[in-house]
Structure 1
Amino acid sequence: MKFSKYHALGNDYIVIDPNFLTKQLTVTNIKAICDRHFGVGSDGILYGPEESKTCDFSLRIFNPDSSEAEKSGNGLRIFSRYLWDKSLVTHDEFTIQTKGGVVNSTVGTKGLSVSVGMGKVRFTHDSSGEPALTPCNMTVNGREFTYYLANVGNPHCVILVEELSPSLATELGKVIENDARFPNRTNVQFVKVIDKSTITIEIWERGAGYTLASGSSSSAAASVVHGLGLCDANVNVHMPGGIINIKLDDSFFATMTGDVRKICEGEISNEVLGAHQ
């Protein structure tokens, strides 16, 4: 099975093009490929390009636990770079269909930076209505937190904190992800506001775990802090893997810009596939 591997600020994905698929991409094979000790290792698999009736391309996104994600900002930037590397797109804007909606993407000079219009960020996990940004409370492992819901085509739980550390996300992220109030589970962001144009976040991704960077998480966090009046509409989001810029319009349509780097390409041995029986 042929593959290409990229990272976007340390958030790494494997691209598997169905046009070159020689073995079925099963649940077992997804887990085996993403395993960092027994497989290639990644934060997920980008399965595409597939045909779309309404967009230039269609993409499916799989988490390391084999669940399918609606959308991934870093994944979309990586997929856009893959399309550019394969000469399937130029520097002109193109569209990609995901389970979480349509995005528009533009690949920058030399493919090293990609901008993606992530769509309108909504302050809910539901698919309808126009809810206001509303604080909610939860107790996690004996600690009280105020959180805000956000939806970038996939669900997010945004928590503002005074002190931020990786351990906060690793210790509490999984508990919050699987909290009963989130029937479809949720991505989790712990956010510290630095100034009117800068925030820092730590991320726990649904189905993937602790993550060095995330485009949809950056979009969700920036939208919440802007909605609360804590930041302007142009926000630099600092993460352990690097910085993503989020620009928001008056309707909270988020445009994300960040780096992408190619790691390698190759072929996955059949001895790896099926390792997670």
Structure 2
Amino acid sequence: MKNFFVKTHGLGNDYIVMNSKDISFEMNEKNIQTVCDVHYGIGSDGILLLVDSDKADFGLRILNPDGSEAEKSGNGLRIFAKYLYDYGFTKSKSFSIDTLGGLVYAEVIETENDKARLIKVDMGKAIFESAKVPVISEQVECLDEELQLKDRSYQINCVSVGNPHCIILKDELDDEEILKYGSEIENHPKFPNRINLQFAKVLSRNEVEIRIWERGAGYTLASGSSSSAVAAVMVKKGLTDRKLTLKMPGGQLKLEIAEDWEIQMTGEVREIASGYLSPELLQDLS
């Protein structure tokens, strides 16, 4: 099983999953970039690495395609939970996962041919305190605050769901707009740890449509943590009910925001491929 990998997607957001005990190369920035590259590697939105943990049933490192490390990923967590269940790391349908963004609880809700299909993840609490997002702000909570860019400004709303997010409300969504301004906002000096960006359009009291720019990955078809962050902000601003559907180009997720700001997310995951890194690829990983 040396250098065995599984590639799975959650609503088009795809990750490579590997076990740290079974890899023969260093998981450094260069190697992460190579493995995630669509031309020189397998191609993916990141790597999920199973590691030991003394805090939870399983430990997880989430590695972005640029080689940086993420605190939390909603789609990544569901993909990782499927991997643990499908490949026999656990027989239980409920288990805990230790991430940089905190402890997470996952539950396999639905299976198909003994493989996990629908998974619910407890994403932890939404935190609005500016210093804990973090975002540089004179306000305790960064809501409806102006962000000045080179050629325009936006009203932003910031929240942490284990990783930092900036939500901008829009009357209409335009992919070209988020592609144009995504990197500038991600790397704006207002955000000490960079930021994940979402443009959001409220469709009804229980539906919101979003576009996503992920820190370290760029434009993304779907994101669980982004959906969680947007849902929390919508509820905070009184724009939606606490149970809502987040619609993205890759698909949709069900979110529920509790009174204490605990977030539960439910969505599908589907395996794409599994196999072994080839000897020739391993030669390029130094």
Q: What TM-score comes out, normalization by structure 1 length?
A: 0.95
For residues 57 and 170 of structure 1, do their structure 2 counterparts lie closer, same or farther at Cα, with a shift above 3 Å needed? same
Q: Identity across aligned pairs (percent)?
A: 44
Structure-to-structure mapping, 1:128-147, within 5 angstroms: 131-132=140-141, 134-147=143-156
1:122 aligns with 2:127: yes
| Displacement of 1:107 | 1.1
**Where in structure 2 are there 5+ consecutive unaligned residues?**
none
Letter in 2 for 1:42: S
For 1:161 and 1:276, locate their aligned partners in 2 and report how far apart those are by CA, in whole Å.
Answer: 43
Asked if structure 2 preserves the Cα contact closer than 8 Å seen for 1:46 and 1:75, the reply is yes
Question: How many residues are aligned here?
Answer: 276
For residues 162 and 276 of structure 1, do their structure 2 counterparts lie closer, same or farther at Cα, with a shift above 3 Å needed? farther
1:11 aligns with 2:16: no
Asked if structure 1 preserves the Cα contact closer than 8 Å seen for 2:127 and 2:133, the reply is no
| Displacement of 1:133 | 5.8
Backbone CA RMSD of aligned residues: 1.9
For 2:227 and 2:133, locate their aligned partners in 1 and report how far apart those are by CA, in whole Å.
Answer: 22
For residues 125 and 107 of structure 1, do their structure 2 counterparts lie closer, same or farther at Cα, with a shift above 3 Å needed? farther
Asked if structure 1 preserves the Cα contact closer than 8 Å seen for 2:126 and 2:161, the reply is yes
Asked if structure 1 preserves the Cα contact closer than 8 Å seen for 2:146 and 2:156, the reply is yes
2:265 to 217, 231, 256: 256
Query: What's 1:79 paired with?
Result: 80
For 1:35 and 1:25, locate their aligned partners in 2 and report how far apart those are by CA, in whole Å.
Answer: 14
| Displacement of 1:128 | 8.6
Structure-to-structure mapping, 1:1-277, within 5 angstroms: 1-48=3-50, 50-90=51-91, 92-110=93-111, 111-124=116-129, 126-127=131-132, 131-132=140-141, 134-273=143-282
Q: Deviations over 1:28-53 (max 9, x none)?
A: 110000001211000000010x2211
Letter in 1 for 2:193: N
Asked if structure 2 preserves the Cα contact closer than 8 Å seen for 1:115 and 1:255, the reply is yes
Q: Deviations over 1:132-167 (max 9, x none)?
A: 462210133422210011101100011101110211
**Where in structure 1 are there 5+ consecutive unaligned residues?**
none
For residues 204 and 243 of structure 1, do their structure 2 counterparts lie closer, same or farther at Cα, with a shift above 3 Å needed? same
Between stretches 165-174 and 110-119, larger displacement belongs to: 165-174
For 2:237 and 2:26, locate their aligned partners in 1 and report how far apart those are by CA, in whole Å.
Answer: 46
For 2:102 and 2:205, locate their aligned partners in 1 and report how far apart those are by CA, in whole Å.
Answer: 30
Letter in 1 for 2:120: S
For residues 186 and 125 of structure 1, do their structure 2 counterparts lie closer, same or farther at Cα, with a shift above 3 Å needed? farther
| Displacement of 1:169 | 1.5
For 1:250 and 1:58, locate their aligned partners in 2 and report how far apart those are by CA, in whole Å.
Answer: 28
Letter in 2 for 1:144: S
Letter in 1 for 2:41: G
For residues 143 and 128 of structure 1, do their structure 2 counterparts lie closer, same or farther at Cα, with a shift above 3 Å needed? closer
Q: Deviations over 1:45-100 (max 9, x none)?
A: 0010x221121011001000000001111000000000011122245321000000
| 3-state SS of 1:126 partner | helix
For 2:21 and 2:131, locate their aligned partners in 1 and report how far apart those are by CA, in whole Å.
Answer: 35
For 2:285 and 2:131, locate their aligned partners in 1 and report how far apart those are by CA, in whole Å.
Answer: 34
- Spell out structure 1 runs of 4+ moving beyond 4 A: 128-133, 273-277
Letter in 1 for 2:72: K
